């Protein structure tokens, strides 16, 4: 799952480079491209940016992301 990304041990400078590229990509998208893409694809892109931003800049995760992570941990039998 995409939230497992938080557990990967990747260098912060590599993550920062990925975040910079992702943000540059999003600045170039047009409304037409957004409307043509699948909603789930854009949601995953937003989630990826949220997780990268959290890892690189320490941005807090959104409440719905935290709730999802807690539910997933319970389902996996892990401590929240």
pLDDT of 80 > 60? The answer is: no
> What is the per-residue DSSP string for 15-70?
HHHHHHHHHHHHHH--HHHHHHS-HHHHHHHHHHHHHHHHHHH-PPPPHHHHHHHH
Q: So what's the pLDDT on residue 8?
A: 84
Residues with Cβ within 8 Å of residue 61, at least 6 apart in sequence:
50, 51, 54, 69
Inside any domain, residue 4: no
pLDDT tens profile 3-46: 777 788 889 999 999 999 999 988 888 878 777 777 777 888 88
Say if 32 falls within a structural domain. Answer: yes
Question: Is residue 5, in this structure, part of any structural domain at all?
Answer: no
Note whether residue 47 is domain-resident.
yes
Please check whether residue 3 lies inside any domain of the structure: no
Would residue 31 count as lying in a domain? yes
**Helix 12-28 vs helix 39-57: angle between axes, to the nearest 10 degrees?**
140
Number of structural domains found in the chain: 1
Structural domain containing residue 64: 10-76
């Amino acid at each position: 799952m995409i939230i497992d990304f938080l557990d990967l041990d990747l260098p912060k400078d590599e993550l920062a480079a990925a975040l910079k590229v992702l943000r540059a990509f999003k600045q170039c998208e047009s409304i037409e491209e957004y409307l043509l893409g699948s909603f789930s694809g854009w949601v995953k892109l937003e989630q990826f940016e949220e997780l990268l931003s959290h890892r690189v800049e320490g941005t807090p995760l959104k409440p719905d992301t935290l709730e999802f992570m807690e539910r997933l941990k319970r389902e996996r039998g892990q401590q929240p």
